[in-house]
Amino acid sequence: MLVVMERGATSEQVQAVVRRIEELGYMARPMAGLQRTAVAILGNQGSVDAARFSDLAGVKALVPVTEPFRQASREWQPENTVVRLPGGVTVGGDEVVVMAGPCAVESERQIVDTARLVRDAGATVLRGGAFKPRSSPYSFQGLGEQALVWLARARQETGLAVVTEVMDTESVELVARYADVLQVGARNMQNFSLLRRVGRAGKPVLLKRGYAATITELLLAAEYILAEGNPQVILCERGVRGFDGATRFVLDLAAIPLVHRLSHLPIVADPSHGTGLRGTVVPMARAAFAAGADGLLIEVHPSPEHALSDGVQTISTGEFAELMRQCRAIAEVVGRRVAEPVEVG
Amino acid sequence: MLVVMERGATSEQVQAVVRRIEELGYMARPMAGLQRTAVAILGNQGSVDAARFSDLAGVKALVPVTEPFRQASREWQPENTVVRLPGGVTVGGDEVVVMAGPCAVESERQIVDTARLVRDAGATVLRGGAFKPRSSPYSFQGLGEQALVWLARARQETGLAVVTEVMDTESVELVARYADVLQVGARNMQNFSLLRRVGRAGKPVLLKRGYAATITELLLAAEYILAEGNPQVILCERGVRGFDGATRFVLDLAAIPLVHRLSHLPIVADPSHGTGLRGTVVPMARAAFAAGADGLLIEVHPSPEHALSDGVQTISTGEFAELMRQCRAIAEVVGRRVAEPVEVG
Amino acid sequence: MLVVMERGATSEQVQAVVRRIEELGYMARPMAGLQRTAVAILGNQGSVDAARFSDLAGVKALVPVTEPFRQASREWQPENTVVRLPGGVTVGGDEVVVMAGPCAVESERQIVDTARLVRDAGATVLRGGAFKPRSSPYSFQGLGEQALVWLARARQETGLAVVTEVMDTESVELVARYADVLQVGARNMQNFSLLRRVGRAGKPVLLKRGYAATITELLLAAEYILAEGNPQVILCERGVRGFDGATRFVLDLAAIPLVHRLSHLPIVADPSHGTGLRGTVVPMARAAFAAGADGLLIEVHPSPEHALSDGVQTISTGEFAELMRQCRAIAEVVGRRVAEPVEVG
Amino acid sequence: MLVVMERGATSEQVQAVVRRIEELGYMARPMAGLQRTAVAILGNQGSVDAARFSDLAGVKALVPVTEPFRQASREWQPENTVVRLPGGVTVGGDEVVVMAGPCAVESERQIVDTARLVRDAGATVLRGGAFKPRSSPYSFQGLGEQALVWLARARQETGLAVVTEVMDTESVELVARYADVLQVGARNMQNFSLLRRVGRAGKPVLLKRGYAATITELLLAAEYILAEGNPQVILCERGVRGFDGATRFVLDLAAIPLVHRLSHLPIVADPSHGTGLRGTVVPMARAAFAAGADGLLIEVHPSPEHALSDGVQTISTGEFAELMRQCRAIAEVVGRRVAEPVEVG
């Protein structure tokens, strides 16, 4: 249960609600959202009678929350969260957004050139790894801050917003200095210290589903960020572990309509990591939009066969341009439109 | 390796190839396809020198087959298999086909009425269970032959082709008397005796992927049917087992482009069983077409909440009509068109 | 709910209960067990008042059954089912039983020699495939009836009971003529026609868990056999599909204590198929006994490297003898003893 | 390939090897182990000719490494790693070690009392959570440093070594001040920054397998720690995600013999988290030892039903004492012995 406070409720009024909850034998947890404050009642069995709070000033309503996540649930906020990126692009509204770029930033030229190519084809956000989580300590781990500088340069040249991964609490500040969206990778979905830290970084967060995480666990991970006061969370389906080695992961597109039913947060799909197989990336990208995804995170490289990492799942800029054409048509079928790049200079 | 014979090769010529293979120390397995005969070489390590067969009449070429399935592979037959159904509908060609109907046949009126409704909305094949495989022996098991009679009646009234499940070897003949397409269910995907029997039934077969079957195992199961001389096999992705109870299965849409790359057989998707959740059926149906599916198998019931089985994953005829509209638009995006119902009488 | 009848209840009394259930608006399903007859009440929400049946003769009690399986549940039968095999071996009682032998019967000599070797090491049941379910139609499929004859010969020579797989309804009678235990393989766990047929064959059945089957589904599959009047069912854990290709399957040993809690049926483990890797078979065989398994199904071959199938997961008779020594000690730790071979002639 | 250096090789000699590798067109990565230094050759296809290094001083041998992990592999170090804990307990040698205690430290009294009880029953390491990773931000998260102080107190009272989880890089130093073994949880198995940090903390590390991690990924995660110069790594199997909600995870005991074949690192099992079900914890603990585990991590609470977290999977001290008796007997069967507690005071 949530005791939802009136918009202008004072902290004294909130404290009175907390005391009342504790008098009833439950635990109270105030949660300050952007749009309203509420106090969660924890430890109760079944529903709590609203009449117990009717004499308290500043109380608007008692809302039942059946899911373990609270601020992430549709019950807490019925209307869609719309995340606004620099340059005017929105995620979670009428627009669907395409985030494209190489797996890893390899050189200034590579990232600036790719940024131009994907922008011209219709992407509005540039992706590119500066810090790369790799299973082996001996694999290429990204170029670090140098890559961040080049990403910022690519933004300057193209007007594209930049999304890039942050791997640990120590580098959140550094990455936030350059990036427009902080990406938390699948392996870190339950790195709770990192979630709390990006919740305080003041930038939108792209949170990838862990590859053995349930939808409930994904939304609880988002709740860690929301609970720190950051409502700008974009979820990302990127494939779960399966038993058939033919694809690297199983892209679970049903997660998209499911998240839309349970939560107000936007969700995008990553068909590149989600299948790990170039021939399936384009069909699954189309499928993601048809399933209602709010956007796409996709690996594009001018010459995939020369990419330093993940070449096998990266499409060429030519394939990408054709895909964009198809995505525009599919977005229209589901009553959306692909966000368009802004003019720069 | 396959020794592919000329189109008019005699059985003596085939026998000569068999003897040569055995002289070389390998096993030989002649495989008569509709379009050509070949002799598979089994037991070899690495490739076999084509020169060893150059003196034999009727030999066209030696073809390497890297996959364990043979006749099901693209290497064996580069061009798509197109399955032709009564009424002129094709599966695997330019058309995409929608197979719709209730989970189970419940009465003559229910199946005939539903058939009319789905035909009017654009379906060209009627699905409906007469024999129902159920986890519990105490659950409703279908109405058997009576249901088959009613399905045939619905076909007569609407011109729709009929697909229905056959559960065991004993009833193949009975079901084949009424149905246009014999469905082999997910639980029976590796019921090899049943696969062999439907391979000799002279009717197209819809083979559903087992819910823990790899793509290779699915194609090997198809190979059992092809090996009996029946080339008319339609595969069906219907969801694999996953760890998140939020959906009943994980609909693995990447299987569609993957099958298209490995095999010439058509593949359709079943979003009803594939998710088991009404709210996700329509988005995943759209996604299947966007991923390149050759068709759709979908549960539609005039009043899903009154269905005898699987109501929770069944959409209404109203939702279905709206879905058909969207599917036509998506088919166009991927260069296909939805097969249209024929006019009856 | 079950209406449990007195031991000597007449069929008229049972019919009276059926009528009463139907008058109450529910469905009735009489279930004749070996030890007692009951009538299941289906279609009810919540419990049914026992007072509604207090005036009917022959009614002993109303028993709630919370699981979807009925006769397989501990609630239906609290005491363990003990399956008795020819030669006096029991499964499910104090003894734990070792079923050993080659994957496939290859020759009379091979099977008779292996039978002697495993008997001398301490096995009491001989396993060996006559009909082999194989993913590919081109793989070795077993020697059929000839192999059955040789298995019977091995039994005659050694006194070992024989377990072998039956793959379809057509061959149940044939296999039942030679075998002491009919094995239903993992791929056929939900081949319901086969389950019903072995339920009427008058022989104990070894039912393997499908490799994506839940414990509930396994027990419901057993229920199909029990519902035909055959109470002699032995379950078998043989590994489920997992995401790590390092082993062929994940042997889910927790299924053993779980089945023991939910059901009265015995359960054995198959570490050979369960891991598919020779080096892990012996440790997992020991682990199965430590987890409380009622027996072991294990592939043993005098020279594994020459086996026609599954050599990679087969242990030698030498390794087997050492394993038996360890298993005897572990059985003792858990308060059991390994069944000992009988002396023959 | 690894170029293994002589024991006393100088850094100049190592540099010469690095240069030679680079001249050959490959990448070189020096790896300083405790026992020997080697230089890994990366980027090669196939093996590299040893003759290319025969003129260089300090080179002992070229060793092929077929697995992606290097220092964690048996090829790199054939003999078992034996981790020595304060008080003389060893992990990975002849002894098997039992690490027991509550899920979370709740009070000084609770942890000291439990420590005494598990020590008296035969445990030699005390487990107990001070920092608890929880799916929900609103769940109990542990008592932090206060709990660490109490753990240290329990060690002082009982002589038990202490293992406790460290959740982020910031708290490694704090936890290392109190704990004898730093535990990295399943959710953090691929938190590479944390792995690197505990690799420099100078304390043994207990690394839990992520619940969707392959064995290769587990060993690569260990490699991150080894690569920082910390050879004292203990692996832990704690269950992987499965499709059957009947248990919380599937405890994959085959991982134990598999790890022993691939690596020299010790591996223990956690049947409490691995099944999440009290009735299966004891059988699976026995099974783990029978499978060859080097130890056990198990949740024990004087009154499990009152535990603040994970009560449902926690056994009582009475059940634990009986389990210890059985484990001693099983250890003997596999040629090991359970480590015995030291006398204190």
Query: Nearest-5° angle of CA D145, CA D151, CA D156?
Result: 130
How far apart CA D7 and CA D214 sit, in angstroms, is 33
Chain B nearest C-alpha distance from C331 (Å): 34
pLDDT the model gives residue B341: 80
Residues of chain B with C-beta less than 8 angstroms from the C-beta of C68: 135-136
Chain C CA closest to residue A243: C243
pLDDT at A173 over 80: yes
* A136 → closest Cβ in D68, D188, D212: D68
Residue of higher predicted confidence among A40 and D203: D203
Residue of higher predicted confidence among B50 and D34: B50
pLDDT the model gives residue B34: 62
Closest listed residue to residue A75, CA positions, set A40, A109, A107, A29 = A40
**Average model confidence (pLDDT) across chain B:** 92
pLDDT at A95 over 70: yes
Spatial contact of A190 and A210, defined as CB atoms under 8 Å apart: yes
Q: Which of A243, A247, A248, A252 best probes binding to C when mutated, by most C CB atoms within 10 angstroms?
A: A243
Q: Which of C31, C39, C192, C308 best probes binding to B when mutated, by most B CB atoms within 10 angstroms?
A: C192
Structure tokens at C159: 């006194």
Chain B nearest C-alpha distance from D245 (Å): 8
How far apart CA B178 and CA B146 sit, in angstroms, is 11
How far apart CA A44 and CA D285 sit, in angstroms, is 35
* Chain centroid, CA D212 distance in Å: 17
pLDDT at A213 over 90: yes
Structure tokens at C216: 């509930």
pLDDT at C345 over 60: no
Spatial contact of B268 and B99, defined as CB atoms under 8 Å apart: yes
Q: Within 13 Å and on the Cβ side, how many CA atoms surround B106?
A: 17
Chain C CA closest to residue A242: C243
Give C345's DSSP letter: -
How far apart CA C215 and CA C225 sit, in angstroms, is 16
Structure tokens at C52: 């509604």
pLDDT at B310 over 80: no
Residues 6 or more apart whose CB falls under 8 angstroms from that of B324 comprise: B98, B121, B122, B123, B338
Q: Which of D243, D249, D250 best probes binding to B when mutated, by most B CB atoms within 10 angstroms?
A: D243
Beta-carbon separation of B254 and A284 below 8 A: yes
What secondary structure, in 3-state letters, does chain B show? CEEEECCCCCHHHHHHHHHHHHHCCCEEEEEECCCCEEEEEECCCCCCCHHHHCCCCCEEEEECCCCCCCCCECCCCCCCCCEECCCCCEECCCEEEEEEECCECCCHHHHHHHHHHHHHHCCCEEECECCCCCCCCCCCCCCCHHHHHHHHHHHHHHCCEEEEECCCHHHHHHHHHHCCEEEECHHHCCCHHHHHHHCCCCCCEEEECCCCCCHHHHHHHHHHHHCCCCCCEEEEECCECCCCCCCCCECCCCHHHHHHHHECCCEEECHHHHHCCHHHHHHHHHHHHHCCCCEEEEEECCCHHHCCCCHHHCECHHHHHHHHHHHHHHHHHCCCEECCCCCCC
Chain A CA closest to residue D216: A135
How far apart CA D345 and CA D343 sit, in angstroms, is 7
Neighbours of A38 (CB within 10 A): 27
User: pLDDT tens, A306-328?
Assistant: 777 667 888 999 999 999 999 99
pLDDT the model gives residue D75: 85
pLDDT the model gives residue C331: 96
Chain B CA closest to residue A250: B252
Structure tokens at A111: 């990232």
pLDDT at A34 over 70: no
Residues of chain A with C-beta less than 8 angstroms from the C-beta of C243: 241-243
How far apart CA B76 and CA A253 sit, in angstroms, is 32
Chain B nearest C-alpha distance from D251 (Å): 14
Closest listed residue to residue D212, CA positions, set D246, D168, D243, D166 = D243
Alpha-carbon distances, residue D49 vs A307, B288, D1, D14 (angstroms): 29, 51, 10, 18
Beta-carbon separation of A192 and D224 below 8 A: no
Spatial contact of D188 and D133, defined as CB atoms under 8 Å apart: yes
User: pLDDT tens, C267-323?
Assistant: 999 999 999 888 899 999 999 999 999 999 999 988 887 777 677 888 999 999 999
pLDDT at B308 over 80: no
Closest listed residue to residue B102, CA positions, set B306, B303, B304, B300 = B300
Give D165's DSSP letter: E
Beta-carbon separation of A211 and D212 below 8 A: yes
Neighbours of A25 (CB within 10 A): 8
Chains that touch D (3 or more CB pairs under 8 A): A, B, C
Ramachandran assignment for A227, one of left (phi > 0), alpha (psi -120 to 50 degrees), beta (any other): alpha
Average pLDDT on C8-36 reads 86
Give A7's DSSP letter: T
pLDDT at B345 over 60: no
User: pLDDT tens, C140-150?
Assistant: 889 999 999 99
Question: Would you place residue B344 in the very low, low, confident or very high pLDDT band (cuts 50, 70, 90)?
Answer: low
How far apart CA C242 and CA D251 sit, in angstroms, is 12
pLDDT the model gives residue A45: 67
pLDDT the model gives residue C196: 96
Residues 6 or more apart whose CB falls under 8 angstroms from that of D132 comprise: D103, D104, D139, D140, D141, D142, D165, D309
Chain C CA closest to residue D281: C254
Chains that touch A (3 or more CB pairs under 8 A): B, C, D
Beta-carbon separation of A190 and D193 below 8 A: no
pLDDT the model gives residue C207: 98
pLDDT at A345 over 60: no
Amino acid at B223: E
pLDDT the model gives residue B224: 96
pLDDT at B8 over 90: no
User: pLDDT tens, A273-283?
Assistant: 999 888 899 99
User: pLDDT tens, C173-188?
Assistant: 999 999 999 999 999 9
Average pLDDT on C46-50 reads 79
Locus of tokens 């939910």: C262
Ramachandran assignment for C229, one of left (phi > 0), alpha (psi -120 to 50 degrees), beta (any other): left
Chain D CA closest to residue B248: D243
pLDDT the model gives residue A158: 96
Torsion of CA A150, A155, A160, A163, to 10 degrees: 50
Average pLDDT on B148-153 reads 98
Chain B nearest C-alpha distance from A120 (Å): 21
Inter-chain CB pairs, B–D, below 8 Å: 6
pLDDT the model gives residue D40: 85
pLDDT the model gives residue D34: 62
Average pLDDT on A158-170 reads 96
Q: What is the DSSP string of D77-88?
A: --SPP-EE-TTS
**Residues of B contacting chain D (CB within 8 angstroms):** 241-243, 245
pLDDT at C45 over 70: no
Beta-carbon separation of A291 and B287 below 8 A: yes
* Chain centroid, CA D312 distance in Å: 24
pLDDT the model gives residue C344: 60
Spatial contact of B203 and B233, defined as CB atoms under 8 Å apart: no
Cβ burial, residue C56 (10 Å; 0-12/13-18/19+): middle
Chain B nearest C-alpha distance from A258 (Å): 7
Beta-carbon separation of C217 and B70 below 8 A: no
Strand partners, C296: C98, C269
Residues 6 or more apart whose CB falls under 8 angstroms from that of A270 comprise: A208, A236, A237, A238, A239, A296, A297, A298
Structure tokens at B60: 């066209």
Closest listed residue to residue A72, CA positions, set A195, A254, A186, A244 = A195
Spatial contact of D39 and D30, defined as CB atoms under 8 Å apart: yes
**H-assigned helices in chain C:** 11-23, 108-121, 145-158, 172-178, 192-198, 215-226, 255-262, 271-275, 278-290, 317-333
Chain B nearest C-alpha distance from A40 (Å): 25
**Average model confidence (pLDDT) across chain A:** 92
Q: Is the pTM of this model over 0.80?
A: yes
User: pLDDT tens, A223-273?
Assistant: 999 999 899 999 999 999 999 999 999 999 999 999 999 999 999 999 999
Closest listed residue to residue A158, CA positions, set A91, A112, A127 = A112
Q: Which residues in chain D show pLDDT less than 50?
A: none
How far apart CA D254 and CA D235 sit, in angstroms, is 14
pLDDT at C170 over 70: yes
Residues of chain B with C-beta less than 8 angstroms from the C-beta of C42: 138
pLDDT at C44 over 90: no
User: pLDDT tens, C77-102?
Assistant: 889 999 999 989 999 999 999 999 99
Chain A nearest C-alpha distance from B293 (Å): 10
Structure tokens at C97: 């039983």
How far apart CA B168 and CA C192 sit, in angstroms, is 9
Average pLDDT on B288-292 reads 98
How far apart CA B249 and CA A168 sit, in angstroms, is 34
Question: Would you place residue B45 in the very low, low, confident or very high pLDDT band (cuts 50, 70, 90)?
Answer: low
Chain D CA closest to residue B240: D243
Q: Which of D190, D211, D218 best probes binding to A when mutated, by most A CB atoms within 10 angstroms?
A: D190
Domains detected in chain D: 2-63 (3.30.70.1140), 83-338 (3.20.20.70)
Beta-carbon separation of A135 and D217 below 8 A: yes
Query: Nearest-5° angle of CA B72, CA B76, CA B81?
Result: 55
Residues of chain A with C-beta less than 8 angstroms from the C-beta of C242: 243
User: pLDDT tens, B51-87?
Assistant: 889 899 999 988 887 788 988 999 888 899 999 999 8
Residues of chain B with C-beta less than 8 angstroms from the C-beta of C241: 212, 241
Residues of chain D with C-beta less than 8 angstroms from the C-beta of A137: 192, 220, 223-224, 227
Helix (H) or strand (E) holding A40: strand A37-42
Closest listed residue to residue A69, CA positions, set A193, A226, A197, A182 = A226
Beta-carbon separation of B246 and A290 below 8 A: no
Amino acid at C287: A
Phi, psi dihedral angles at D28 (to 5 degrees): -115, 140
User: pLDDT tens, A72-93?
Assistant: 999 888 899 999 999 899 999 9
